[in-house]
Every structure is written in C-alpha cells, then in structure tokens.
Structure 1
Amino acid sequence: MSTRPLSAPLLDAALVGISLLDVWAHVDASEPLRMACALAASFALLPRRRLPLLTFLLTLPSVLLSDAVFAALAALYTLASLTRRRTLLAVCAVAFTLSDMTSLPSPDFDFSTPSTFVTLGYTAATAAAPVFLGQLVQARRDLSLRLAEISRARDHERQLTAQTVLAKERTALAREMHDVVSHQVSLIAVQAGVLQVGSRDADVRQAAATIRRLSVQTLDELRHMVSVLRASGGRPTELIPQPSLADIPQLVDNSGIEAELHTDLSGSLPPPVQRAIYRTIQEALTNVRKHAPGAKATVRVRHEDTTLRVTVTNTAPTRPALPLPSAHYGLVGLRQRAELLGGTVTCGPTADGGYQLCLELPADGGEQRVWP
C-alpha cells in the first residue's frame, strides 16, 4: 500500500523549512525586497507537484536578488522529475545559471577574468545536478511501472498457458470417455438386453432390466459430461439437470437394492442443500450395493429444529462382496460438500453388523460454493 499521501505533505513542509533556513542564512532582514522574494520562493514550494513550472518561475526572483537558491533548486528538481520536455529543462537550467550569476540591481558580467568562467561552470553544474537527479528519478519510476506491467503480462501469460493445458487435458479426457467408457457401457446395456429377452428366470430378467436401465442412464450422464468437458474454453456450462428432493424417491426405487425411504422434507430448501442430500443418499446406496450384497437399506430424511439430518442405514450383508475397483473418494467428496454448507458427515458400523452414514446440515443452508 502506498504511503505517498501521508509522506508528501511532511516532505513539502521539510523543504519549506530548509528553504527558510537558507533565507535566514543568506538574506539580511534590512533588505525587504530580497526578503519578500526569498520568503515567497520558500512558500511557493507547497504546490510544486501540481504546478512545477509555475513554482520554478516564482523562485527565480529569489535567485536574481539574493543567495537563497535552495527553493529554486528544489523546484527545478521537481520539474525535472515530472516533465518529459528536455528543451524546457535546458531553458530552465540556463535561466537559473544566468539568474544566479546576476547581481541585481547592478548586474556584473566580466568575462575578461578566468574567475568568471569558473563561476559560470560551477553555477551551470549546480543547475544541472537537480535536472539530472529529477530525470533519474523519473526514469526509475518509469522502469518500476514497466516492470510491474511485465509482471502482470507474465502472470496473464501463465494463466493462459494453464488454461490451454487444462483445455487440452479435458478434451483428451472427453475423448477417452467417449471412445472407451461409453463403448463399454453400451456393450453392457446390449448384453443386459439380450439377457433380459433370452432368460426364462423372472429374477434374472428383472436384474437384467435393472442393469440395462442403469446402463442407459449412465450413458446419458456420460454424454452430458463429455459435452461439458469439450465446452472448456467457452462460456461456463451448467451441469444440468440438477437433482433435487423430488428425485430422491426415484433414486431409492432404482438403487437395485431393497430400500425404504422416510422423509418429511419439502422442496423449499436451497438448491445446494437439495443436491447435497441427493448426492449423499446416492453415494450411500451405491456403497451398500457394492460392499453389502443382499443387505436392506433404510433412508431417513428429517428436519429436526434447525438441523437437517439424513441417515442411510443398512443391515449386514447376506453374501460376500465382489472385488470392485474403488478410488475411495466418495466419502471424502461428501465431507467436503457438507463442510462447504456448514455441515458434517459421519459414518461407521452398527451393532448388528451393518453400516450407517449420517449427514447433518444447517436448515438455512449456508452456501459457500456451488457443487454439481
């Protein structure tokens, strides 16, 4: 954070004070004209940043009439640090040199003696010093601004590079999902349809119908996800349609396991809360189907005071679970989703050998981030 608004007035006051000391040291109080010009030059430094050229011109009479030159040198430095007109700076430096060498009211230019040229060189060097210093400060300021612009440009370039790499990765992922996963799920749906038609066992036909229906739903979701991934780089694509409380009964009925639903919630909850409840039940039922074959599940969704409580409890499995691939990210994602809404997810085994997952959310749904 810049401190210039606070330090600039103090610096101006310090310059005025030093200039007044210069006046006290070089101007006799018995000479009112010179004293007035010197004092005017000192206080003219106050608006030096807003009116640098006018400030310098107001300090020249003090240089012409007295030896109090500090105010003029400060004004010349300010002008050099703010203007880019080199010709103007040269003229001002020459004006200071001639004014400092002139002794009004009786000017004396005697170029017949070497001392005059020595004085001229010394005075010209004195005038050139604040000009060069001011130009150096201006160049440093321009360089800092240029470096800041380069830094911003590099940051922007890195962001564009990262976005380009991400877009390529998402495109490759979409291609793999379309060419590999979708193809395999399509084969599952076809084989399930063949089994549904060709089997004489009612239970087998029902299981095949369930597999076929779930495969078709998975294909639809995969196609939508592929379209979302391929839309990277364009406008944000909404993951639609979003599940809500109204979709929970269908989710439970199509879970492929024996499950009961007990709920007293309405559809007036915020959409992120409804999605969190739906995804929690979906993940819990999927885990029951994968890890507890033959178990029965009970889903309870309750509104208790200021808390929404969702529990999914399953009985002990009746047969061994098949070894299925799992990345173990499901529960982690549920906990993160719940934390973003101000809630918690707990889970663990029950006394009868089953398992229970519990989601608790505040009823007001303190949303911090929208999850799909």
Structure 2
Amino acid sequence: MSRARAVWQRVPAPVVDIVLVAVAAVDVLVVDMWEHTRPEVTLAAVGCAALAFRRRFPLGVFLLTLPIALMQDVAVAVLAALFTLAERSRNRRLLAVCVVLAAVASSTPWPLAEADRTMTLVFFVYGLATSVAPVLFGQLLQARRDLARRLAEVEEAREHERTLHAQAVLARERAQLAREMHDVVSHQVSLIAVRAGALQVAARDADAKEAARTIRSLSVTTLDELRTMVTLLRASGGKSTELTPQPTLADLRRLVESSGTHTELTGELPPTVGTPAQRALYRTVQEALTNVRKHAPGASARVELWQDGDGIGVTVTNTPPTRPSLSLPGSQQGLVGLRERAEILHGTLDAGPTAQGGYRVRLRVPLSAD
C-alpha cells in the first residue's frame, strides 16, 4: 500500500486535475445533461472546469459546482470540491454549512416545481450522508498529514535533545577538569613559585639567583594562564570538535543560514574586535537561535550586530511562535554560561520576553575585550 501511495504522490498535480475535470465532465454527460437548457449546460461546464483550480480556491470552486448538484442527485464535481475544501480548511462551521448546501442542492427538485415533501426530505437525508463522506475523508487526510508533521517535529526535537545531552556530559567533564587543574596543578605550580622565590632570596650565586627568578616568573605567568583556562572551562560546555579552530564572526553568516529558522542578519562590527569577544558574540547567537528553534517553532528571528561607543554587541530577537512548542526537558544552563562568559570579558548579557510575545537576548562587551 505504501508503494501505491508513493507512485500516486509522484503523479504531477496538473495531471490529476485534468483527469478529475474529465471524469466530472463524463459524469455530467452520462445523466443526459444535453436535455437541459443552454444556461444549465454552461453552468455545469463552468463547474467542471473550475475543478482545475480547486487547490488554490477550494471554497469558490465548491460554490461553482453547486448548480450541478441541482441537476443530478450525486455529482462527482461537487464531491471532489467538498473533499478538497475539507482537506485544506480547518473551519468546521464552514464545512458543516457546505455539507448542508450540497444536500439541499441535490434534494431540491429541478426544474423548480412542486414535489412530494416526504420524498424531498428523504432525498435530503441521503444527500446529507453522501456529502458528509468526502468531508470526513478530507479531514482524515488532513489529520494524517498533521500527525506526520508532528512526528517529524518530535523526532527532530529528540535528536536535538540527544545533542544537548552530549554537550551536557561534555560540560560536566570540562568542569571536573577545571577543578583538577585548580586544585592540583595550580597548587603545585604555586609551590614551585614559592620555592623559587625562597631560592632567589637565599642563593648567593648570581647565576642561581637569575635561574630562581626566571623559574618564579614563569611560574607566576603559568598560574595566570591556568586561571584563565579554568575560568573558560567553567564558562562553556564546549563541543565534540574542541580541537578544531574556534568560531569567529566570519562564521556567523553560515551559522544563521544553517540554523533551521528564518533569520535576518544585519549590522557590521569593526575588524579590531578581539578573538574572545568574537567567540562570545558567536556563542550568544548560537544559543539564542537554538532556543528559538526549540521553544518557538515557526518563529522568525533577527540578529543585529551593533557598536555603542567603546562597546560592541549583538541583539537576537524572535517573533512569537506560530505553532505550539514541544514540552521538552532542558538544562536551563545555556544563558547562565553566556552570562559567565560576558562577565569574564567585563560585559553584560540581558535576556527576556518582548512586548510582542517574542524573546530578546542582548550581549554587550567592551571593544577592547581580550
């Protein structure tokens, strides 16, 4: 059955429309349409031809096919128009009204004349049942399409959550490494610096004093670098590609284009921006767009680079979501890490909802941050 569905989906839409118009025309001709007047035949021809535009104007096409229902009890054109309308519309009241209209048109005597009320009522009930069938089938197809899209979103969210879990595990390993470096390596280097300082004071030989001074100076420099490394390890979770070159502002456009969200990138920054500031800006945009994709499905985003006096920054703003977001667990540590990274660079990070129902993340760091 899936193979037949795949074959059917490969048939071009215009071919399907042409075949449907032909079937509707044959259906009209079979019921002795030529016995009707010329205006009636014209209305029937217009209704059949209108089926070619049923995908773009489903309601209008249905109204154009109603005269055919007046001339015959069960019309293929009317049923096809009802199915298309039900497949594409979510307005249940409109669909109910259209079902009643089709039933009334099929049960009304034509030409208009007096008729048995009982038989008219019976024909109306049969017409109502006949009109409900394509509507139910169209709604079923719409629900199946919505379910398939929902399942795809759930699978995508699960894949994204697996990635976040891997990053969280890596973040814990980095935090443990930072503690080891702080508690063990830093302590031992400090002892080396203290011993070298004592040797520099106690030594009488000039060469020994110079060697002790060099060892103490290198130890102090190493301690400063270790503190910086420990701070950076605690500030971000990192990725599985830590040995690859770290991203800069030159990679920002590629990040925006591959974010999976309709995003606009505006603004420029001077070429003198330091590497740590570039990484902070990049990570801020990356985390903000990840949150948009996760918590605001269907929303669009705007990334704005700007300079304010001696400070530079980026603002990421997204519109309200157009679809309900999936209820997914999160670490809630993304913005915390960004704030820690901003504080290292003596900057600030603000995040919060907008008045329009969206969300805004704003990072500002000094231009001279290094």
Normalising by structure 1, report the TM-score: 0.54
Q: Are the counterparts in 2 of residues 34 and 66 from structure 1 also a CA contact under 8 Å?
A: no
Q: How many corresponding residue pairs?
A: 233
Letter in 2 for 1:86: R
Offset of residue 208 of structure 1: 3.4
> Are the structure 2 counterparts of residues 191 and 69 from structure 1 closer, same or farther at C-alpha, using a change threshold of 3 Å?
same
C-alpha root-mean-square deviation of aligned residues, in Å? Answer: 3.5
Q: Are the counterparts in 2 of residues 196 and 204 from structure 1 also a CA contact under 8 Å?
A: yes
Please give the residue correspondences for 1:57-96 in structure 2 after superposition, counting only pairs within 5 Å: 57-66=63-72, 69-96=75-102
Counterpart of 1:184? Answer: 188
Q: Aligned partners of 1:107 and 1:142: how far apart in 2?
A: 46
Q: Can you list the C-alpha shifts for 1:89-108, whole angstroms capped at 9, x where unaligned?
A: 22222222232233311456
Q: Can you list the C-alpha shifts for 1:33-75, whole angstroms capped at 9, x where unaligned?
A: 3321221111111232332222111101011024671111111
Counterpart of 2:47? Answer: 41
Counterpart of 1:237? Answer: none
Q: Aligned partners of 1:34 and 1:110: how far apart in 2?
A: 24
Please give the residue correspondences for 1:116-265 in structure 2 after superposition, counting only pairs within 5 Å: 119-200=123-204, 204-232=208-236
Counterpart of 2:23? Answer: 18
Q: Aligned partners of 1:103 and 1:24: how far apart in 2?
A: 19
Greater relative contact order structure (CA < 8 Å, 6+ sep) = 2
Q: Are the counterparts in 2 of residues 27 and 67 from structure 1 also a CA contact under 8 Å?
A: no
Counterpart of 2:367? Answer: none
Offset of residue 88 of structure 1: 2.5
> Are the structure 2 counterparts of residues 108 and 81 from structure 1 closer, same or farther at C-alpha, using a change threshold of 3 Å?
farther
Q: Aligned partners of 1:102 and 1:186: how far apart in 2?
A: 99
Q: Aligned partners of 2:11 and 2:170: how far apart in 1?
A: 45
Counterpart of 2:60? Answer: 54
Matched, 1:9 2:14: yes
Q: Aligned partners of 1:112 and 1:42: how far apart in 2?
A: 31
Q: Are the counterparts in 2 of residues 102 and 109 from structure 1 also a CA contact under 8 Å?
A: no
> Are the structure 2 counterparts of residues 156 and 109 from structure 1 closer, same or farther at C-alpha, using a change threshold of 3 Å?
farther
Letter in 1 for 2:34: A
Q: Aligned partners of 2:73 and 2:43: how far apart in 1?
A: 11
> Are the structure 2 counterparts of residues 55 and 208 from structure 1 closer, same or farther at C-alpha, using a change threshold of 3 Å?
same
Identity %: 54
Q: Are the counterparts in 2 of residues 23 and 38 from structure 1 also a CA contact under 8 Å?
A: yes
Question: Counterpart of 2:111 in 1: which secondary structure?
Answer: coil
Q: Aligned partners of 2:44 and 2:58: how far apart in 1?
A: 17
Q: Which runs of 5+ in 1 are unaligned?
A: 235-270, 273-372
Segment of structure 1 superposing worse, 80-89 or 129-138: 80-89
Q: Are the counterparts in 2 of residues 94 and 124 from structure 1 also a CA contact under 8 Å?
A: yes
Counterpart of 1:288? Answer: none
Normalising by structure 2, report the TM-score: 0.54
> Are the structure 2 counterparts of residues 165 and 177 from structure 1 closer, same or farther at C-alpha, using a change threshold of 3 Å?
same
> Are the structure 2 counterparts of residues 93 and 108 from structure 1 closer, same or farther at C-alpha, using a change threshold of 3 Å?
farther
Question: Counterpart of 2:28 in 1: which secondary structure?
Answer: helix
Please give the residue correspondences for 1:263-302 in structure 2 after superposition, counting only pairs within 5 Å: none
Q: Which runs of 5+ in 2 are unaligned?
A: 1-7, 239-273, 276-370
Q: Aligned partners of 1:122 and 1:30: how far apart in 2?
A: 25
Q: Can you list the C-alpha shifts for 1:91-147, whole angstroms capped at 9, x where unaligned?
A: 22222223223331145643557xx77755543332111010011112122223333
Offset of residue 205 of structure 1: 4.3
